[in-house]
A and B are shown apart, each in its own frame.
Chain A
Amino acid sequence: MDCKEARERLTATCGGERTSPLEEHMERCSACARYAARIDAARRLLTEHHGNVEPDPAFAGRVIARLPNATADVLGWAAMKLLPVTIALALVLGWFALQTAPNFETEEPADDLLGWVIGQNGIES
């Protein structure tokens, strides 16, 4: 077994089981033995590597608080449901506003503006 084959085998198993020819080669080749030590370390890092972070009890609450536009969705749904009512209300209010608006065309102010204003307010001088 040469170095090329030895390293291919070591890499393929990432530090896993080693055959006798591979072990024999490493006894003779210090560079491959060092490579084997490195691949063993890499395997340990890959397998031992773990954040070991546990979710705390408030985690779900934090997720729910970040739900995209959860409130906006609810409001949007409500707005769609209430749209006909909103339109009807706007029409009624508009009609009412037109009926109660002062009629400037028929009640032109007098030349004496102050007297006209006082007259509009029902104040007798």
Chain B
Amino acid sequence: MSITWTMQMPVDAASAPVDGEASLIAASLGGDADAFSRLVQLHQRRVFRLAGRFFRRKEDVEDAAQETFLTAWRKLDTYKAKAPFEHWLTRVCLNCCYEKLRRQKVAEQPLDGGAERPATTADPDAALEVEGLLRRLPAVDRFILLLLDGEGWSVAEIAERLGWTKVNVKVRAHRARKKLRRALEEGL
């Protein structure tokens, strides 16, 4: 099976280098909660956007975002400043979302939470049917498919941002696509 990867890096305001970010990180490492609060404010939109990719309910997005920043506070000393802080924070966020997804039962976390359903341009019945089929996929498979097809990240990008090897990402992606196919072929 050949897998086509798209390259589409999402860019928002938080991607730009931020003056004084290094000093905020240093102050946070010294226990300065005000400096960390400023860091949170600088990156919260990006974190919410990413967490919102995996969770539809507002409470879940907020919970994942809070967990991201709390983990960042605890592990801030592991950030070595070789890469942009936002890359490190993205990895923290992805891992938090992944763990949260794993903890939830499949049926508890539909792709669409219902109340905040986006307008679907195509046949709504087909969308509902497919949503039900996707819901049965294990969390790890939905996670990797959302990164590949939802975020449009390449294998290399996912590997770098999650700290996984490229081979690991490819294997997981291959399995996820296989399960997706099996799910979508149901009842045809």
B62 within 8 A of A: yes
Q: Once the chains bind, are B31 and A46 in contact (CB under 8 Å)?
A: no
Cα distance, A55 to B37, chains bound together (Å): 13
**Minimum C-beta distance from A94 to chain B (A):** 34
**Minimum C-beta distance from A1 to chain B (A):** 14
A91 within 8 A of B: no
Q: Once the chains bind, are A67 and B36 in contact (CB under 8 Å)?
A: yes
- As a 0/1 sequence over residues 31 to 64 of chain A, the CB contacts with chain B under 8 angstroms (1 = contact) are 1001101111111111111111111000111111
**Minimum C-beta distance from A2 to chain B (A):** 14
Cα distance, A35 to B180, chains bound together (Å): 11
Q: Once the chains bind, are A47 and B70 in contact (CB under 8 Å)?
A: no
| Residues of chain B at interface, number, CB under 8 A | 58
B93 within 8 A of A: no
A8 within 8 A of B: yes
Q: Looking at the complex, which one of A12, A37, A70 makes contact with B33 (CB distance below 8 Å)?
A: A70
Cα distance, A48 to B52, chains bound together (Å): 11
- Taking CB atoms, residues of chain B closer than 8 Å to A66 are 66, 70
**Minimum C-beta distance from B117 to chain A (A):** 10
Cα distance, A77 to B180, chains bound together (Å): 53
Query: Chain A interface (Cβ within 8 Å of chain B)?
Result: 7-8, 11-14, 16, 31, 34-35, 37-55, 59-64, 66-68, 70, 73-74, 77
- Besides A51-B53, A51-B58, A54-B45, 18 more A-B contacts (Cβ < 8 Å) are A13-B4, A35-B188, A38-B126, A38-B130, A41-B126, A42-B133, A43-B149, A47-B149, A48-B118, A48-B120, A50-B49, A50-B53, A53-B52, A55-B48, A59-B62, A60-B37, A68-B73, A74-B31
